[in-house]
């Protein structure tokens, strides 16, 4: 599944909870990765 599919699912056409959790987790991991890079 691509990110676009998960975003469209977040609209309520599929599994909104799983889609939003995946998006939130990917954003959190991205922020954590950038913080490690800055150190």
In angstroms, the Cα distances linking 24 to 1, 9, 11, 36, 39 are 16, 14, 15, 18, 23
**Number of structural domains, the chain?**
1
| pLDDT for the residue numbered 30 | 92
pTM for the whole thing? 0.45
- The answer for residues whose C-beta is within 8 angstroms of residue 2's C-beta and 6 or more apart is none
Quick: pLDDT tens for 3-29: 555 555 555 555 556 677 788 888 999
Domain region containing 20: 3-38
């Amino acid at each position: 599944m691509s990110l676009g599919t998960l975003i469209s699912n977040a609209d309520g056409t599929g599994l909104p909870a799983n889609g939003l959790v995946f998006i939130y987790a990917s954003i959190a991991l991205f922020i954590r990765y950038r913080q490690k890079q800055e150190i």
